[in-house]
A and B are shown apart, each in its own frame.
Chain A
């Protein structure tokens, strides 16, 4: 009687659609802009190189969004991390290792405080993290209003260490150029894998989903809602700190205006990847594709390269809109079935 029907449920269906749309879009880009190098493997790797920090930050964002929360402070945490890291190394002679510790400590502190306010004080996450965003940005400028360039040798060695891959392309001049990545990519991908495993295979991960699905029920089912939420924000904070550090490895500097709007990128990546702001739904894999999709939309626009500033903004959001609407249409089609 109990035939377990192997049917694709709504969410994994959407994830498939998202991945498919990404592949179609990227393939289209490769065909249209073949002469502009879009088809090169390095172009694809660049998506990861440029978005390593964002990917890690978006992982944290995904987790808090699944608890039905949100964290809009990640951008300013990133800026704060970059500034502190740069300031410590350049003005206080800290080593690159100490800098990593600072980055994680900032993330941890943010996670603890915001997590406490959200879970134990029951203050709305948007407001808590909005305050966190204000605070981080303000602190950054209190530390220094100047731009600080990082000249620390070990740090630069990390940042500039190219890892060549056994693939590559020939340049117009006939030179073989091997494809490469930076260590940041490896770290980001590792973190992604760890988070994906945590969300799928640990009690904490599943509790996060349960809380997002229905907080009251989760409580009644005997889950420790408050502690789980605190942990979620803690993890998010640490990931923001880590992401900030990766971001810093990419930009090698600290300044006030850094990473503005990263929070919106992280949120929209997660959403494109199928995470619901109302909680309970979303996967790290989805978010990965969300990041890749956002990255390739920008990449397509840059490659096109004849748009004026305002058309860039409009096109960017038109593509985003197209994507989101398409998803929503697929979702409702699925529901009707």
Chain B
């Protein structure tokens, strides 16, 4: 009996390292990302080739990381909102359009196209981010103060947002054909890496540090898990929820600027179109519960890269864009099934069974 126990502990020690890794919350999301990337080893041999072309990095992988930038930024905000309010902000796509519209309109001084900045770039960008923050604040007010359900509260700007953006641009696409404006969606100076990658990483780091260096992360989780109890321990639930929406709005604004800079124009109808759904998906693929509470920022970031990797992969495989959702749906279901509690329990049971039969066998040998 005692011997057996010893045996078990010894076995555990051997497996200890692997378990520590597989037990980590980010394990599954990372595995999924890698799996998606691995498909390409077979289907698109050149997928991982990165070359220096014309002074910039060039290749599918660069595309994945570059194109995912807006999604990563949005996913960060979405994670916070989800954690604190147990609901999602579906207006982020529209907020991106509003930010793009504000920025371009200020830069063009109200014209449809411009070849020079009519107003300072910094002013335009600040204004855009402030407006996006106000959009977030509006959502936050409805959710936190008036207790309106997040998805419905944000439905208002989801419908109105693009209308407001069109109102700002007078229903036309505003072009800012100035090289300095293309930097945020293109390249900075002689740097061979696309700027959006840096912007995404920068904002992930900023939010990460804010969460680490303040108690905000804990507050958000606490409020998301139980609002009444949080209030009784002295947290201002309303304020914290509100804050997450403002942050989400601001981040959507930043994403909007990147998207707008990529096309050096403000396209009210198309900037950030359907991106809210992908952002929510990213949060879920990162292993987060959409009902709020505990969250993993890095999980969402990985989720965002997974989605873009999938899209780029399918493009590389020549899947037509209108049929792409079918494959996306299948992959998403596979990923979330792998991460589901039921599947995990099933695997754990299998493992336990195997361990048990092994223990029995070994025990038999020893006695």
Contacts and interface: CB of A to CB of B under 8 A. Distances in A.
Q: In the complex they form, do A and B come into direct contact, defined as C-beta atoms under 8 angstroms apart?
A: yes
A320 B156 contact: yes
Contacts of B146: 325, 328-329, 332
A124 B285 CA distance: 11
A127 B336 contact: yes
Given A313-B160, A317-B157, A127 B332 contact: yes
A264 B158 contact: yes
Interface in A116-139: 117, 120-124, 126-128, 130-135, 137-139
A267 B153 CA distance: 12
20 contacts: A121-B337, A123-B337, A127-B290, A128-B336, A131-B328, A132-B329, A137-B325, A138-B325, A138-B327, A141-B320, A271-B152, A309-B166, A310-B163, A310-B268, A311-B167, A317-B163, A321-B142, A321-B156, A325-B142, A325-B148
A267 B159 CA distance: 14
B277 interface: yes
A70 B290 CA distance: 12
Interface in A139-183: 139, 141-142, 145
Interface in B318-335: 320, 322-330, 332-333
A131 B164 CA distance: 30
Interface residues of A, number: 48
B151 A267 contact: yes
B342 A122 contact: yes
Nearest to B324: A138
Nearest to B345: A122
Contact of B336 (A124, A271, A278): A124
A278 B277 CA distance: 19
B155 A121 contact: no
Specify which of A131, A145, A325, A332 lies most central, judged by the most chain B CB atoms within 10 Å of its CB: A131
A122 B340 contact: yes
Interface string A79-117: 000000000000000000000000000000000000001
A67 interface: no
B16 interface: no
Nearest to A331: B147
Interface centre among B148, B153, B329 (most CB of A within 10 A): B329
B149 A268 contact: no
A39 interface: no
Contacts of B280: 126, 130
B149 A134 contact: no
